Structure 1
């Protein structure tokens, strides 16, 4: 049952826009901090997992964007270094 819920959760992440994912991370961090203040360790772990999963999805998407030819991103220096050497 928990695998079904996790799969459903992952599928819902895949359909979210990056702005929504960012909002979910911020909300999970806020909830985690509140749970820390209340010393509710089960909730802290739950929200920490949520933060890690959503951040991983964001990172996965940004990395896949950077792999697209011609994409301007953090790997631009790598691309321009090769392009300059080929001129």
Structure 2
């Protein structure tokens, strides 16, 4: 991983973007030695966003199962759902 001061990054933006894209590693921008932002490859950002959405979905399912266990509810069979929606 690469760290570069924002003041220096202004003069090397093209190189920073090329590095992030080519190496698929973030280039961290720093202010007073503290990381404040990152330049990453757009495909990597999309992959991370998709992974985050998947994790949110998994967490939502886990919470739904926990709620059903706490309330004593049972899931509705998929065949019933399809029938009620007119999909069968």
Q: Normalised by the shorter chain, which TM-score bucket?
A: 0.3 to 0.5
- Scaled by the length of structure 2, the TM-score of the pair is 0.34
More strand as a share of residues: 2
TM-score (norm 1): 0.35
**1 or 2, which has the higher helix percentage?**
1
Structure index of larger Rg: 2
